[in-house]
Amino acid sequence: MSLVKLIGEAGMTNRIVDALSGEVVFYSNSLATVTRNSVVLRDAETRSQIILSLSRITHVKKVTTTYPFLLVIATASLIIASAAAASRDGGGAEAGIPFAVLGFLLLAGYFVSRRGSVSFVAGSEIVETIAGTPADAVALIAAITSVQTAAGEEQVVWSSVSDGR
């Protein structure tokens, strides 16, 4: 992602960034807004915003929340559907169709329900963004890396964590 592309995608500005004098919005999405010197995070619970200086951030972690029980139930449903279709007794093919439909719906539900957020470590503080899509989390980390590269700063270390519930 180039810096020029990030500037073009910064359509979502907010009031606190507008109040910061001389700050140019490089990237913005549902999780945060990245400026030249800071990251402005949205907090959905308290309806507030948090400003983190890019120079204070030491570690960035992408947190993916999934619901693996949906995969387990979908797999069981698809196994029952295949067993019913392979059965030689009774109307196995007709009995397998509802289980197959249920399995595919649960499988689709698993992929739709995944959430991604970004956790920032700044000194002894840990601040996490609101939950968005995993693609939003990856794009936010890429934007922070691009801004730090353009500014010539040391890049933060980032990792990925999956939180299966």
Q: Does residue 133 share a domain with residue 97?
A: no
46 and 72 share a domain? no
Q: In the listed set 112, 131, 147, which residue is the last one of a domain according to the structure? A: 112
Which pLDDT tens digit goes with each residue over 50-97?
788 888 888 888 888 889 999 999 999 999 988 888 876 766 667 788
Domain count, the chain: 2
Instruction: Please report which helix (H) or strand (E) contains residue 61, including its range.
Output: strand 59-66
Residues 20 and 98 in one domain: no
Cα dihedral sign for 43, 15, 29, 147?
Answer: negative
**Residue 102 belongs to what domain range?**
68-112
Q: Are residues 59 and 73 both part of a single domain?
A: no
What tens digit of pLDDT does each residue of 23-60 get?
A: 777 788 888 888 888 888 877 666 677 788 888 888 88
CATH code for position 143? 2.30.29
